Structure 1
Amino acid sequence: MGRAAGQAARARTGTTTRRNTVSDIEKIHGITPDLTRENVDRLLALFPDVATEITDPKTGRTERAVDFDALRERLGDVAEGNRERYQFTWPGKREAKRLAREPIAKTLRPVKERSKDWDTTRNLYIEGDNLDALKLLRENYAGKVKLIYIDPPYNTGHDFVYDDDFSQTHDEFNAESGEYNEEGGRLVANPESNGRFHSDWCSMIYPRLLLARDLLTQDGAIFISIDDNESKNLRAICDEIFGESNFVGDVIWQKTYSPRNDSKGIPTETEHILIYAKQDGWTPKRLKRTTEMDDRYASSDGDPRPWSSGDAAAPGAATHQGMVYAIQHPITGSMLYPPNGRHRPFGGQSMLEIMNEWAEYEFRDIHDEARRAEICGVSPEDVRKGVKALVLKNPCEATFKAAQERYDKGHWPRLYFTNKGKGGMRLKRYLDSMDGKMPTNLWPYSEVGHTDEAKKQLKTLFNDSAPFDTPKPTRLMKRMLDIASDKNSLVLDFFSGSATMGEAVIQKNADDKGQRKFILVQLPEETTGQYSTLTEIGEERIRRAGEKIKSEIEAENAQLTLDGTPKKVPDIGFRVLRVDDSNYEDRRKLVDEYSQKDIDDNVDITKMDRSDLDLLFEALPKFQLPYSSRIDVLSGGEFDGHTVYSVNDGQLLACFENSIPESLVRALAAFRPRPSYVLVSENGFLNSAARTNFAEIFKQAADSLSGVTQIRII
């Protein structure tokens, strides 16, 4: 049987691998996972009793499915019969969901000639539709992206929106909304006169956010820039996809320092940045402290550590009743209690140690239940019994005088007293123990830059000519990196525009010696001027920004003294990948779509214009290997001149030659360290006997050494 017919006999659309009946070799397919099938499998794993079988009318195959009547009975449908329910919808939402789940037969093809530092970089620049790119990235980057930032097209009535394949027919939309339009193409204008003004935009963003959520790490977050036109709808969509409880904040970015006076209504100075976390409990990292913040700390008592005065009590008296008690003043002898609703800042032993710096103290029961009950907000009967006060062991004039002298000496204990030692209790908060500044939801341009600054930055890089009209400032991107990334984080921007995030990642790595990696995705929109597409602008921006940062570091290192530590140049490269159709003819054809000639002939379904590197990159997701993996070409003596690709120092070995000789098979099996995977072309086998022999050679090699190599064909 020929290759095409053999593939047709194994036609499928749902999963990425299938066990072959001949030997222990698996076949991998150039189709992304079917998310509908994945969701059905998850449901059936939870509720196996709701499983049923249906016949697919297209393929004639029997498949497991969910019996929704049985599922409703199992769960108890609380919404049954309730026509009025809280929900957010629009014409086209169902199709938008379907589009996110639908598998595609596409790949990311490497473009080495447009890349920088191909062999060493770990950054990716992807050209193509970001919906396709997200589906492809989901296979090997699910759960690995710490920070996602996107700046999608704003729905202003003048900008463009992505026109995906979920567009309804005129009759379908007319039935739902009473209106329709006749626009078409990859990018289409979305004027306010269009009856689907909001629906088009919502249908564009929804499937992309569905897929983006899967890419986030459990402690990851997504930041989305948006203006007033769609901020309300975007918030509703994100509440649905990420969960309302995972809403972190609506940041207001002051994008301009000089609002236009000719604006209608109220001039706009700000934009929104919506932040959602992958799961509840996400908190931002603190920002660096400012000089103004540090200037609030001093040392009026001669303490060598600068400090500021803080409250000597903490909230939550009712739940911390054991920490609600009196402390006898070391100078006046009066009993001091925390304010109502508050408790002591430290545990009992710590409080005793601090107060012993003033005089000798001990815990003693003074039977003050009524006073403590008042502070805790409970009745005297319900207040915790046996809580003792911290009192002076020997309250007398001599003790009071010694404590006053201690105060006059200076360098007071951490708990000190105001009014020349005779007032209330306060707490020293030391500068060297303070955390950084907590970010708020107001980001002024003085801290994160503005649109004019962004354009000037771009003009500086491009010799006083900005090739992109609406860039974001790198300081804005770095603020997000500051609060939502670690030094080794993976950062994704799938509406990358002029690639500001790429430059910001490189700058941030240069600042803190980080090894963050970026993935940028951009549709090759046509532009006017020197660069024909927006992807050309993005690539060139990263090149120029990287070289600029490199030259600055090298100049700084040149000024170092002999004992200075030179600064390391970060990764300033990127691999360019392009979204394209699969390297293989449609593998989802049914058997009856092939002719007898196809069945009799050994038909190679690999497309004529595709290289070995193309084939390798299509296979990487099937092994959960990143597109940034190190790739070496091995063709030395051990492989007798045959070309073998080594991925990540032999984790995967791949050979796409026809009719692989047994000597090469044995060389692959003998490779050390033992590869986890071996990938070969289906044309590498003359017949089924050669395939069986291939597997047996690896089995024999595995008998003598631990570990089993998985063999797959493509």
Structure 2
Amino acid sequence: METYKDHITLSPDMNEERLNKLRELFPDWFTQEGYLDINEVKKAVNPNSVEETERYEFRWFGKSAAKRNAFTPTRATLHYDEKRSVNAETTENIIIEGENLEVLKVLTSSYRNKVKCIYIDPPYNTGEDFLYNDDFSESKKSYWEHTEVKEEGITLDTNSDSDGRFHSNWLDDMYSRLLVARTLLRPDGVIFISMDDHEIHHLRKVCDEVFGEENFLVNIIWEKRQTRSNNSKLFGTNTEHIVCYRRSQEIIDIKEPRTDSANALYSNPDNDPRGLWTSILYTNPALREERPNLCYTITNPFTGEEIEHPTNAWKYEYNTYLQHVSENRLWWGQDGRNKYPRLKKFLSDMEGGMVPTNIWKSEDAGTTDKATTELESLIGRGIFPFPKPAQLVQKAISYIINKEEDKDCIVLDFFAGSGTTGHAVMNQNMKDGGHRKFILVQIPQLTDENSNARRAGFKTISEITIARNKAVVEKYQKESEGKIIDENYKQQLDQLGFKVFTLSKSSFPRTDFTPDPTKNEEENLALFQEYIKEKERQLIIAFNEEEVVTEILIKQGFMLTYKLEKQPRFTQNTVYWATDGEKEAYITVDANLNDETVEYFMQHTDKKFICIERALDTTKKFNLKEKMQEKFYAFYR
């Protein structure tokens, strides 16, 4: 059924999608009017007592509102900023300046189930940190009013520890953003979240709910500094947490590269033709009575002695033991007289790397001091407090994205800060020849008027994000000057850079239309159509062609890496061919379509065609729809 929503640009309405899925699976849960009957849901959950409401759950003030906010669609869009982009023609990296919840909602149109890895370093809620007040949607006080025409940036709220909602405020922010971010992850995707001790216990509970307890992978302890802090009153804090969850139970490969010290544990005392090996225990920690199926007699081939362990079971089933014997994998010592055997593990079997540990030492993952020095070398001294080292994020990326087929994936950071994640992705690509892409999101939060950042000319944090990554690109380009480089390295250099987008108000003023909650869909559609006519009577709205094209392509699910090519065959209208590698379409935003243009698409119905609805009269619109079916899309403006 046609509704007013078919004619305005919105990100996907995930609440509606979830209701539609419920309606598809359980139609009996809905009334004849189409509304969800909550009592029917309660009966399905507990048919014996619909009054029973107590259960184990993690709740705080504002949780329900935060969840509603997460799944409410946005009417915002993204505008391309060519002036601040770097190597835009060859790169597929993206930096987005804007409030991250609204940006994440916009990204759901194009990037749902496409992000392999998310790394975020959100505010730590120490009583001084800035908080997103989530008052940026069009239905509330406008985000664009906060930005003051993008020149002054946004002043965010602080979360004072004297505030009665100190923890709730922080949880509201994290909960809504993680709910949306989860929809962007691939089934085999993972998320890393840096956190200190203040909210780590709350973060784990929120993530258990968003991703599922069964998808918790690890709480990594990162040694962020090696020296003791003299400012601490009681205990110095030398570590931080990095919590890691996966999107689903789909198998993922997590390995770290092997080290010389790890390989040094392997030798070949018996000159085994399979090469270097080490050995592990063959006995099981479980007692015999606990695992009777793993209790059997084995034979020492050197002494002929038959052996059973007096207290413990063996580690493997009997058939597996026989296979180990046939493959000469049991080690009985140099003279063959060990009391119990050990199992050989060959270095050649360890080519996939090593299973990582949950302790990341500073020499492997960097320190806060190193991160500060690193940033200073790129954009100046004292510009951004407490940045994360690129080495830390690079380590996480190398664990999760180590297979060749994954080295062409997307890495997202929606608390971009100084832009460490972009720096790390570029470093790792240059190191191993990968083609990973990053998407960074940072709100244009104002820098302090008396800060080094402001004195250096940075009015907002997002300007720092962009400047840092631009400096990284220039650094690699400068290092290659005068050197002989092969084609592969040239391709690596070409992919350095980023396209900048800004979160913006929709180019379609009719998205300001608000439906009447007391009326049904048919009545609201009539109201919407009357609203359109009134707008059309008032004025013919001038618009920026590039901004409109971008907004429509995003709405149609195109990724931000799309390319536009003007089509010379159309002499009466400006028509572009748009493609992002997956989706493709012809698009025009001309106010009137010539007969010649219309006739072409009447004859060529194999490719999608997008145009403005009012560019066609009723007959042309009907004929195109009849001929092209789902390949034709006319948007209202």
CA distance in 2 between counterparts of 1:110 and 1:691 reads: 30
Match of 2:399 among 463, 483, 497: 483
Quote the residue 1:569 is aligned against: 492
Instruction: Return closer, same or farther for 1:314/1:283 CA change in 2, 3 Å cut-off.
Output: farther
Quote the residue 1:49 is aligned against: 28
**SS in structure 2 of the partner of residue 544 of structure 1:** helix
CA distance in 1 between counterparts of 2:38 and 2:378 reads: 58
AA aligned opposite 1:67: D
Please list every run of 5 or more consecutive structure 2 residues that lacks an aligned counterpart in the other structure: 138-153, 448-453, 516-523
Does residue 68 of the first structure (1) align with residue 68 of the second (2)? Answer: no
Quote the residue 1:620 is aligned against: 553
For the Cα contact (< 8 Å) 1:651–1:675, is it kept in 2?
no
For the Cα contact (< 8 Å) 1:151–1:225, is it kept in 2?
yes
CA distance in 2 between counterparts of 1:476 and 1:293 reads: 21
**SS in structure 2 of the partner of residue 135 of structure 1:** helix
For the Cα contact (< 8 Å) 2:610–2:634, is it kept in 1?
yes
Offset at residue 206 of structure 1 (A): 1.3
Alignment of structure 1 residues 430-449 onto 2, 5 Å = 430-434=346-350, 435-449=352-366
Does residue 678 of the first structure (1) align with residue 612 of the second (2)? Answer: no
CA distance in 2 between counterparts of 1:605 and 1:314 reads: 81
Does residue 692 of the first structure (1) align with residue 622 of the second (2)? Answer: yes
Offset at residue 414 of structure 1 (A): 4.0
For the Cα contact (< 8 Å) 1:11–1:589, is it kept in 2?
no
Identity %: 33
**SS in structure 2 of the partner of residue 37 of structure 1:** helix
For the Cα contact (< 8 Å) 1:109–1:579, is it kept in 2?
yes
Quote the residue 2:211 is aligned against: 242
Does residue 514 of the first structure (1) align with residue 487 of the second (2)? Answer: no
Offset at residue 596 of structure 1 (A): 8.2
AA aligned opposite 1:613: E
Q: What's the TM-score once normalised by structure 2's chain length?
A: 0.84
For the Cα contact (< 8 Å) 1:652–1:675, is it kept in 2?
no
Quote the residue 1:330 is aligned against: 301
For the Cα contact (< 8 Å) 1:145–1:216, is it kept in 2?
yes
Alignment of structure 1 residues 344-493 onto 2, 5 Å = 347=320, 350-351=323-324, 353-354=326-327, 414-418=329-333, 420-424=335-339, 425-434=341-350, 435-462=352-379, 464-485=380-401, 486-493=406-413
Offset at residue 102 of structure 1 (A): 1.8
For the Cα contact (< 8 Å) 1:105–1:586, is it kept in 2?
no
CA distance in 1 between counterparts of 2:53 and 2:74 reads: 36
CA distance in 1 between counterparts of 2:266 and 2:535 reads: 83
Instruction: Return closer, same or farther for 1:120/1:335 CA change in 2, 3 Å cut-off.
Output: same
Quote the residue 2:313 is aligned against: 341
For the Cα contact (< 8 Å) 1:510–1:568, is it kept in 2?
no
CA distance in 2 between counterparts of 1:80 and 1:240 reads: 23
AA aligned opposite 2:255: R
Quote the residue 1:402 is aligned against: none
Offset at residue 259 of structure 1 (A): 2.7
Deviation string 1:608-664 (CA, Å, 9 cap, x unpaired) is 3x4222112212233322121222222x2x111632121128821001112211111
For the Cα contact (< 8 Å) 1:657–1:683, is it kept in 2?
no
For the Cα contact (< 8 Å) 1:231–1:272, is it kept in 2?
yes
AA aligned opposite 1:677: K
Match of 2:462 among 535, 557, 560: 535
Please list every run of 5 or more consecutive structure 1 residues that lacks an aligned counterpart in the other structure: 1-8, 18-27, 55-63, 168-184, 355-412, 700-707
Q: What's the TM-score once normalised by structure 1's chain length?
A: 0.76
For the Cα contact (< 8 Å) 1:657–1:681, is it kept in 2?
yes
Quote the residue 1:581 is aligned against: 505
For the Cα contact (< 8 Å) 2:12–2:108, is it kept in 1?
no
For the Cα contact (< 8 Å) 2:294–2:313, is it kept in 1?
no
**SS in structure 2 of the partner of residue 652 of structure 1:** strand
Match of 2:4 among 8, 12, 15: 12
AA aligned opposite 1:692: F
CA distance in 1 between counterparts of 2:361 and 2:235 reads: 19
AA aligned opposite 1:431: L
For the Cα contact (< 8 Å) 1:553–1:567, is it kept in 2?
no
Offset at residue 679 of structure 1 (A): 0.5
AA aligned opposite 2:624: F
CA distance in 2 between counterparts of 1:255 and 1:524 reads: 27
**SS in structure 1 of the partner of residue 415 of structure 2:** coil
- Number of equivalences: 590
Quote the residue 1:711 is aligned against: 633
**SS in structure 2 of the partner of residue 193 of structure 1:** coil
AA aligned opposite 1:679: I
